[in-house]
């Protein structure tokens, strides 16, 4: 059966409201004004360190490794206990995962979110049992769009014929680099037109995913 590996933020969960709220709390603790929701939403996808780099640039904070590490730590401190306050599953995610599991497919997560928070969020929504592996942005020495997180997740699932499901430019680039077919969820955090992102299939509702997988399964 096919090994199906999913991105998390913008794919299975709409986490932008909680990420925005955590960034606002961090900035408030530093005596700085908050950033708008669309601005922070546009920063999501490359992991926490890049998120903080973009926040620092947006608030004209001088690049400094000590300050960067300080803000990363503060963000994780603010985000961890409140990572599901405003976050929601996208419609039909749970029944789609159940259908895929019932069909015998192995599933994993490959995200740039740190592994600990990713596991906590999956557990909070009751999704963790669906996934045989969770690779986070801090699980390896590299993160997406480097192909190693995705290929590692695939190897841990047994190296079956694979499909990567994601929502963004980072995910499309990762799949291309890994040589793994990509299914694009169009309702996430991408900034590029669907036609301009390399993908095997695109879908806007998770209710369509089981039939899509059945169509492409060898």
Catalytic residues: 7
CA distances from 64 to 5, 25, 27 (A): 36, 20, 16
Whole-number Å distance between alpha carbons of 122 and 45? 17
Q: Strand pairing partners for 13?
A: 9, 89
Percentage helix, strand, coil for the chain under 3-state DSSP, each rounded to 5: 50, 15, 40
Burial class (CB in 10 A: 0-12, 13-18, 19+), 115: middle
Cα separation, 180 vs 65, whole angstroms: 35
Phi, then psi, of 121 in degrees rounded to 5: -65, -45
């Amino acid at each position: 059966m096919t090994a199906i590996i999913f991105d998390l933020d913008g794919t299975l969960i709409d986490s932008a409201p909680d990420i925005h709220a955590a960034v606002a709390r961090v900035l408030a603790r530093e005596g700085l004004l908050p950033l708008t929701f669309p601005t922070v939403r546009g920063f999501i996808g490359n992991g926490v360190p890049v998120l903080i780099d973009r926040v620092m640039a947006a608030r004209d904070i001088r690049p400094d490794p000590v300050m960067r590490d300080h803000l990363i730590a503060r963000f994780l401190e603010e985000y961890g206990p409140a990572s599901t306050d405003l976050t929601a599953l996208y419609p039909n995610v749970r029944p789609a995962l159940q259908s895929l599991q019932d069909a015998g497919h192995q599933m994993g997560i490959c995200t740039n979110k740190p592994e600990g928070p990713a596991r906590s969020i999956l557990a909070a929504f009751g999704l963790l049992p669906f996934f045989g592996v969770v690779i986070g942005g801090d699980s390896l020495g590299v993160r997406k769009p480097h192909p190693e997180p995705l290929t590692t997740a695939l190897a841990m699932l047994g190296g079956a014929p694979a499909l990567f499901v994601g929502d963004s430019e980072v995910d499309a680039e990762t799949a291309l680099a890994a040589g793994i077919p990509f299914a694009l969820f169009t309702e996430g955090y991408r900034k590029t037109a669907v036609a301009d992102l390399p993908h095997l299939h695109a879908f806007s509702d998770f209710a369509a995913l089981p039939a899509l997988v059945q169509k492409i399964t060898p």
